[in-house]
Structure 1
Amino acid sequence: MLQNSVNKKEARTRLRYERPFKRKDRVANEIQHILGKIQTQYIDLSDLGLITFSRVTISPDLKHAKVFFSVLNKKIPIDKIQIEMDNRAKSFRKYLGQELRIKFTPELKFFYDETVAYTQKIDTIFQKLKRDD
Protein backbone atom coordinates (compact mmCIF):
# COMPACT_ATOMS: atom_id res chain seq x y z
CA MET A 1 0.00 0.00 0.00
CA LEU A 2 2.77 2.42 0.96
CA GLN A 3 4.74 1.50 -2.17
CA ASN A 4 1.69 2.23 -4.36
CA SER A 5 1.24 5.75 -2.91
CA VAL A 6 4.97 6.47 -3.35
CA ASN A 7 4.75 5.44 -7.03
CA LYS A 8 1.75 7.72 -7.59
CA LYS A 9 3.59 10.62 -5.98
CA GLU A 10 6.65 9.99 -8.16
CA ALA A 11 4.45 9.81 -11.26
CA ARG A 12 2.81 13.15 -10.45
CA THR A 13 6.18 14.77 -9.79
CA ARG A 14 7.60 13.37 -13.02
CA LEU A 15 4.55 14.56 -14.98
CA ARG A 16 4.95 18.05 -13.56
CA TYR A 17 8.55 18.25 -14.75
CA GLU A 18 7.85 16.70 -18.15
CA ARG A 19 5.47 19.46 -19.19
CA PRO A 20 6.99 21.43 -22.04
CA PHE A 21 6.24 24.87 -20.56
CA LYS A 22 5.56 26.49 -17.23
CA ARG A 23 1.99 27.51 -16.51
CA LYS A 24 2.70 31.20 -17.01
CA ASP A 25 4.16 30.42 -20.47
CA ARG A 26 1.09 28.40 -21.41
CA VAL A 27 -1.20 31.21 -20.23
CA ALA A 28 0.87 33.79 -22.14
CA ASN A 29 0.58 31.73 -25.34
CA GLU A 30 -3.17 31.40 -24.82
CA ILE A 31 -3.51 35.16 -24.27
CA GLN A 32 -1.59 35.85 -27.49
CA HIS A 33 -3.88 33.49 -29.41
CA ILE A 34 -7.05 34.99 -27.90
CA LEU A 35 -5.90 38.58 -28.58
CA GLY A 36 -5.43 37.73 -32.25
CA LYS A 37 -8.93 36.28 -32.30
CA ILE A 38 -10.36 39.37 -30.56
CA GLN A 39 -8.65 41.61 -33.10
CA THR A 40 -10.26 39.80 -36.02
CA GLN A 41 -13.73 39.42 -34.49
CA TYR A 42 -14.43 42.33 -32.13
CA ILE A 43 -11.93 45.20 -32.23
CA ASP A 44 -11.06 46.75 -35.57
CA LEU A 45 -7.47 47.96 -35.71
CA SER A 46 -7.34 48.57 -39.46
CA ASP A 47 -7.28 52.34 -38.91
CA LEU A 48 -3.81 51.90 -37.35
CA GLY A 49 -2.30 49.49 -39.88
CA LEU A 50 -1.77 45.75 -39.89
CA ILE A 51 -1.21 44.92 -36.20
CA THR A 52 0.15 41.55 -35.11
CA PHE A 53 0.77 40.41 -31.56
CA SER A 54 4.29 39.04 -31.58
CA ARG A 55 4.79 38.06 -27.96
CA VAL A 56 3.13 38.11 -24.55
CA THR A 57 4.90 37.94 -21.21
CA ILE A 58 2.99 37.56 -17.98
CA SER A 59 3.87 38.12 -14.33
CA PRO A 60 4.25 35.06 -12.08
CA ASP A 61 0.95 35.88 -10.33
CA LEU A 62 -0.80 36.04 -13.77
CA LYS A 63 -2.25 39.49 -13.01
CA HIS A 64 -0.20 41.63 -15.42
CA ALA A 65 0.61 40.94 -19.05
CA LYS A 66 2.93 42.76 -21.43
CA VAL A 67 1.69 42.45 -25.00
CA PHE A 68 4.24 43.15 -27.72
CA PHE A 69 2.86 44.14 -31.10
CA SER A 70 4.31 44.93 -34.49
CA VAL A 71 2.85 47.04 -37.27
CA LEU A 72 3.02 46.65 -41.03
CA ASN A 73 1.63 49.30 -43.38
CA LYS A 74 1.28 51.77 -40.53
CA LYS A 75 -1.20 54.54 -41.20
CA ILE A 76 -0.16 56.80 -38.33
CA PRO A 77 3.13 57.23 -36.40
CA ILE A 78 4.15 54.52 -33.93
CA ASP A 79 3.82 56.76 -30.87
CA LYS A 80 0.17 57.45 -31.74
CA ILE A 81 -0.43 53.75 -32.42
CA GLN A 82 1.00 53.03 -28.95
CA ILE A 83 -1.44 55.50 -27.39
CA GLU A 84 -4.36 54.00 -29.32
CA MET A 85 -3.43 50.48 -28.25
CA ASP A 86 -3.27 51.58 -24.61
CA ASN A 87 -6.67 53.27 -25.01
CA ARG A 88 -8.14 50.02 -26.33
CA ALA A 89 -6.55 47.86 -23.60
CA LYS A 90 -9.75 47.92 -21.53
CA SER A 91 -11.80 46.56 -24.44
CA PHE A 92 -9.22 43.86 -25.12
CA ARG A 93 -9.29 42.89 -21.44
CA LYS A 94 -13.09 42.66 -21.47
CA TYR A 95 -13.14 40.21 -24.38
CA LEU A 96 -10.10 38.38 -23.01
CA GLY A 97 -11.96 37.78 -19.73
CA GLN A 98 -14.80 36.13 -21.63
CA GLU A 99 -12.43 33.69 -23.37
CA LEU A 100 -9.65 33.06 -20.87
CA ARG A 101 -10.45 30.53 -18.17
CA ILE A 102 -8.36 31.64 -15.21
CA LYS A 103 -9.36 33.27 -11.92
CA PHE A 104 -8.19 36.80 -12.78
CA THR A 105 -8.04 38.47 -16.17
CA PRO A 106 -4.63 40.13 -16.36
CA GLU A 107 -4.15 43.86 -16.84
CA LEU A 108 -2.80 44.44 -20.35
CA LYS A 109 0.00 46.82 -21.24
CA PHE A 110 0.96 47.16 -24.90
CA PHE A 111 4.52 47.66 -26.15
CA TYR A 112 5.76 48.23 -29.68
CA ASP A 113 8.01 45.37 -30.80
CA GLU A 114 10.76 46.78 -33.01
CA THR A 115 11.91 43.34 -34.17
CA VAL A 116 9.91 43.41 -37.42
CA ALA A 117 11.06 46.94 -38.30
CA TYR A 118 14.65 45.97 -37.50
CA THR A 119 14.38 42.83 -39.63
CA GLN A 120 12.98 44.84 -42.54
CA LYS A 121 15.82 47.35 -42.22
CA ILE A 122 18.44 44.56 -42.27
CA ASP A 123 16.70 42.93 -45.23
CA THR A 124 16.76 46.24 -47.13
CA ILE A 125 20.49 46.56 -46.47
CA PHE A 126 21.11 43.01 -47.73
CA GLN A 127 19.04 43.67 -50.86
CA LYS A 128 21.00 46.84 -51.53
CA LEU A 129 24.31 44.99 -51.09
CA LYS A 130 23.11 42.24 -53.41
CA ARG A 131 22.19 44.77 -56.12
CA ASP A 132 25.53 46.55 -55.79
CA ASP A 133 27.47 43.32 -56.45
Structure 2
Amino acid sequence: MPGYRQARLAEFLRDEISAIIQRELRDPRLGFVSVTRVELSPDLRHARVFVSVYGSHEEQEAALQALQGAAGFIRRLIAPHLHTRHIPELHFKLDRSLEHAEQVARLLYQIERERQTDMAGTSKDDDHS
Protein backbone atom coordinates (compact mmCIF):
# COMPACT_ATOMS: atom_id res chain seq x y z
CA MET A 1 0.00 0.00 0.00
CA PRO A 2 2.43 2.70 -1.19
CA GLY A 3 -0.17 5.52 -0.98
CA TYR A 4 -0.58 5.05 2.76
CA ARG A 5 3.17 4.93 3.40
CA GLN A 6 3.73 7.98 1.22
CA ALA A 7 1.02 9.93 3.07
CA ARG A 8 2.40 8.96 6.49
CA LEU A 9 5.93 9.92 5.47
CA ALA A 10 4.74 13.25 4.02
CA GLU A 11 2.94 14.08 7.27
CA PHE A 12 6.00 13.12 9.31
CA LEU A 13 8.23 15.30 7.13
CA ARG A 14 5.83 18.24 7.43
CA ASP A 15 5.91 18.03 11.23
CA GLU A 16 9.69 17.53 11.42
CA ILE A 17 10.53 20.31 8.97
CA SER A 18 8.17 22.69 10.79
CA ALA A 19 9.87 21.94 14.10
CA ILE A 20 13.34 22.38 12.59
CA ILE A 21 12.42 25.73 11.03
CA GLN A 22 11.05 26.97 14.35
CA ARG A 23 13.79 25.63 16.63
CA GLU A 24 16.99 25.26 14.65
CA LEU A 25 17.11 27.85 11.87
CA ARG A 26 18.30 31.30 12.88
CA ASP A 27 18.14 33.02 9.50
CA PRO A 28 16.65 36.54 9.77
CA ARG A 29 15.03 36.08 6.34
CA LEU A 30 12.74 33.50 7.91
CA GLY A 31 10.01 35.59 9.45
CA PHE A 32 6.70 33.85 9.87
CA VAL A 33 6.99 30.62 7.87
CA SER A 34 4.68 27.64 8.17
CA VAL A 35 4.88 24.34 6.34
CA THR A 36 1.46 23.69 4.84
CA ARG A 37 2.04 20.34 3.15
CA VAL A 38 4.63 17.97 1.72
CA GLU A 39 4.27 16.02 -1.52
CA LEU A 40 6.57 13.05 -2.10
CA SER A 41 7.58 11.54 -5.40
CA PRO A 42 6.51 7.89 -5.84
CA ASP A 43 10.10 6.69 -5.24
CA LEU A 44 10.31 8.86 -2.07
CA ARG A 45 13.53 10.51 -3.27
CA HIS A 46 12.10 14.01 -3.71
CA ALA A 47 9.84 16.05 -1.46
CA ARG A 48 8.12 19.26 -2.46
CA VAL A 49 7.71 21.23 0.74
CA PHE A 50 4.99 23.87 0.45
CA VAL A 51 5.37 26.82 2.77
CA SER A 52 3.27 29.84 3.55
CA VAL A 53 5.27 32.98 4.28
CA TYR A 54 3.72 36.05 5.82
CA GLY A 55 5.10 39.20 4.22
CA SER A 56 5.72 41.00 0.98
CA HIS A 57 6.66 39.27 -2.26
CA GLU A 58 10.33 40.14 -1.62
CA GLU A 59 10.18 38.71 1.91
CA GLN A 60 8.57 35.54 0.57
CA GLU A 61 11.30 35.11 -2.05
CA ALA A 62 14.02 35.76 0.56
CA ALA A 63 12.48 33.16 2.88
CA LEU A 64 12.35 30.61 0.04
CA GLN A 65 16.04 31.23 -0.73
CA ALA A 66 16.91 30.80 2.94
CA LEU A 67 14.97 27.53 3.14
CA GLN A 68 16.51 26.17 -0.05
CA GLY A 69 19.94 27.09 1.29
CA ALA A 70 19.19 25.25 4.53
CA ALA A 71 17.77 22.14 2.77
CA GLY A 72 20.94 20.09 3.31
CA PHE A 73 21.08 21.02 6.99
CA ILE A 74 17.39 20.11 7.41
CA ARG A 75 17.96 16.76 5.65
CA ARG A 76 20.83 15.94 8.02
CA LEU A 77 18.64 16.67 11.05
CA ILE A 78 15.81 14.54 9.67
CA ALA A 79 17.99 11.57 8.64
CA PRO A 80 18.29 9.90 12.08
CA HIS A 81 14.49 9.92 12.46
CA LEU A 82 13.68 8.52 9.03
CA HIS A 83 13.69 4.79 8.52
CA THR A 84 13.95 4.86 4.74
CA ARG A 85 16.69 3.90 2.33
CA HIS A 86 16.97 7.45 0.99
CA ILE A 87 16.50 10.82 2.62
CA PRO A 88 14.36 12.84 0.19
CA GLU A 89 15.80 15.89 -1.54
CA LEU A 90 13.85 18.90 -0.29
CA HIS A 91 12.42 21.40 -2.76
CA PHE A 92 10.70 24.38 -1.16
CA LYS A 93 7.75 26.00 -2.93
CA LEU A 94 5.48 28.87 -1.97
CA ASP A 95 1.97 27.74 -1.14
CA ARG A 96 -0.27 30.41 -2.58
CA SER A 97 -3.52 28.70 -1.61
CA LEU A 98 -4.02 31.01 1.40
CA GLU A 99 -3.50 34.09 -0.79
CA HIS A 100 -5.91 32.64 -3.33
CA ALA A 101 -8.53 31.90 -0.67
CA GLU A 102 -8.21 35.45 0.68
CA GLN A 103 -8.63 36.89 -2.80
CA VAL A 104 -11.75 34.77 -3.42
CA ALA A 105 -13.20 35.84 -0.05
CA ARG A 106 -12.54 39.50 -0.90
CA LEU A 107 -14.27 39.12 -4.28
CA LEU A 108 -17.27 37.39 -2.71
CA TYR A 109 -17.54 40.15 -0.12
CA GLN A 110 -17.38 42.79 -2.87
CA ILE A 111 -20.09 41.01 -4.89
CA GLU A 112 -22.31 40.79 -1.82
CA ARG A 113 -21.86 44.52 -1.09
CA GLU A 114 -22.73 45.36 -4.71
CA ARG A 115 -25.82 43.15 -4.51
CA GLN A 116 -26.95 44.87 -1.33
CA THR A 117 -26.36 48.29 -2.90
CA ASP A 118 -28.33 47.27 -5.99
CA MET A 119 -31.18 45.90 -3.87
CA ALA A 120 -31.27 49.09 -1.78
CA GLY A 121 -31.41 51.15 -4.97
CA THR A 122 -34.18 48.94 -6.38
CA SER A 123 -36.32 49.28 -3.26
CA LYS A 124 -35.97 53.11 -3.38
CA ASP A 125 -37.13 53.06 -7.01
CA ASP A 126 -40.12 50.94 -5.97
CA ASP A 127 -41.06 53.49 -3.25
CA HIS A 128 -41.18 56.35 -5.76
CA SER A 129 -43.37 54.62 -8.34
TM range (shorter): 0.7 to 0.9
**Structure 1: gaps of 5 or more residues:** 1-15
Candidates 69, 73, 76, aligned match of 1:87: 69
The answer on whether the counterparts of 1:39 and 1:45 sit within 8 Å (CA) in structure 2 is no
Q: Distance in 1 between matches of 2:22 and 2:86?
A: 24
Query: Aligned residue for 1:120?
Result: 102
User: Does structure 1 residue 24 correspond to structure 2 residue 6?
Assistant: yes
1:1-133 counterparts in 2 under 5 A? 22-44=4-26, 47-74=29-56, 76-131=58-113, 133=116
Q: 8 Å contact 2:29–2:59 — kept in the other structure?
A: no
TM-score (norm 2): 0.73
Pairwise CA distance, 1:30: 0.8
Higher gyration radius (CA): 2
Q: Give % identity.
A: 24
Determine helix, strand or coil for the equivalent of 2:102: helix
Structure 2 portions without partners, runs of 5+: 117-129
Match of 1:38, as an amino acid?
I
Runs of 4+ in 1 over 6 A off after TM superposition: none
How many residue pairs align between the two structures? 115
> 1:42 offset after TM fit, Å?
0.9
